[in-house]
Amino acid sequence: MSFLGYPRPDGSVGTRNYVLVIPQGLIAKSIGDFVAGVRTIQTVDHGSGRTANDRECIARVLIGLGRNPNVASVIVHAASPGVGYPELKTERLADEIAAGGKRVEVIDPARDGGVYGAIAKGIRLARMMVYEASKLRRVEVGNEHFCLGVKCGYSDTTSGIAGNPAVGYLFDKIVGAGGTCFFGETTEIIGAEHVLAKRAANPQAAKAILDAVAHREALAKSTGLDIRTINPVPANIKGGLSSLEEKSLGAIHKAGTSTIQGVLQYGERPKGKGLYFVDCWMGSLSIFAGYAAAGSNLVMFQLGGGGLAGRDLMEGCPSIVAPFLWCTANPNTFKMAQDNIDFYSGTVITDGEDPQEAGERLYRTVIDIASGTLSRSETLLHTDPIDLSLEEPRF
């Protein structure tokens, strides 16, 4: 089992070959608008008024995106309001990314002729970085170099019956080959956490899974709400789900059957290979930036049908630097958004296909995209700003 990728100095392998400019802001956007092959994060948060823990989370995401194997080189600029905080200092971001062996350049309006001068310098640097990256060639590598993250959402009965089991087969195949897989959203496992804890590699990992759920439930109760009575949301109920436990038992199918090595925080990189649970909130598409920061070189959204009416999925890659795939098993969703869906497993329901057969088709689709074929989302330039998963109050 193999794909065609770009080997990096730290031993990882990319499925894409970008130049990244961080953090967000006018300078980053201007360089990205002017130079082909450049990516940058768009976020509504730069750290001002955030706690030290949340600023550390922002830094973890920015550094992780810079270290992502899909990134050939990085430009860090010093114009963001957040760079005054110790956690987000330009030098820290640049040094930790460069430690992986990549070329990293710093631009600073205070030294480079103001904002206009910094933009001009950044464009010159980015052009040469893109040119250098274009000389790299894909080579065949084993799936032990593959790192995949998945989320499910708008869940309905098709998710647990067909869509998530197909993803679970893919996860087992990648992990079995020595690769790494992430699944997350703590509210999506409430009621099924005991099932996952039994699959933990050790007692510490099992406890971390149970503790993550207990913490989320306690947070909900601190507001006067019981999350088990307000989730599933109306769209999930419309899709045929009757309880949070039922929703969760269907959701965890996407994690396959492999041993869970541990629990990661948002944007945290694993210390080894295998399957990991990511403790984070269920907010829209922000989880994919966290997966990319953790090292995912490809990410997927397994989509149900609840609440989808009126959405056309015209969304670029919220993972910033990783190919983003839409998958569904819902026939109505597929019919409504056929131009945007990369993989359809509803044949398990309509044609009697075995979920493992669907999973094998999904595997071939994923390897094809990992090797260079564009996902549907990659053909779009627009991506909404990313609302990072930050835990603490803003002051």
Asked whether residue 210 falls in the same domain as residue 313, the answer is yes
pLDDT of 193 reads: 93
Asked whether residue 153 falls in the same domain as residue 293, the answer is yes
Asked whether residue 200 falls in the same domain as residue 76, the answer is no
pTM of the entire structure?
Answer: 0.94
Residues of the chain with pLDDT under 70: 229-245, 282-284, 306-312
pLDDT of 190 reads: 87
Whole domain around residue 363: which residue ranges? 143-379
Give a yes or no: residue 268 inside a domain. Answer: yes
pLDDT of 299 reads: 98
Give a yes or no: residue 317 inside a domain. Answer: yes
Give a yes or no: residue 1 inside a domain. Answer: no
pLDDT of 283 reads: 64
At a CB cut-off of 8 Å and minimum separation 6, what does 389 contact?
57, 266, 280, 281, 283, 286, 287, 290
Asked whether residue 121 falls in the same domain as residue 220, the answer is no
Asked whether residue 152 falls in the same domain as residue 131, the answer is no
Asked whether residue 327 falls in the same domain as residue 179, the answer is yes
Give a yes or no: residue 5 inside a domain. Answer: no
Asked whether residue 111 falls in the same domain as residue 152, the answer is no
Read off the tokens for 342: 């990369």
Q: Which of 82, 114, 135 is the last residue of a domain?
A: 135
Domain count of the chain?
A: 2
Asked whether residue 276 falls in the same domain as residue 372, the answer is yes
Asked whether residue 112 falls in the same domain as residue 185, the answer is no
pLDDT of 169 reads: 98
Asked whether residue 170 falls in the same domain as residue 311, the answer is yes
Read off the tokens for 271: 């210390």
Asked whether residue 165 falls in the same domain as residue 223, the answer is yes
Give a yes or no: residue 3 inside a domain. Answer: no
Cβ atoms 348, 354 nearer than 8 A: yes
* Distance (Å, whole) CA 328 – CA 348: 11
Asked whether residue 127 falls in the same domain as residue 237, the answer is no
Number of residues that this document lists for the chain:
395
With CA atoms as reference, report the closest residue to 331 among 365, 355, 301, 304.
304
Neighbouring CB atoms inside 10 A of 171's CB total 25
Q: How large is the greatest C-alpha to C-alpha distance in the chain, in angstroms? A: 65
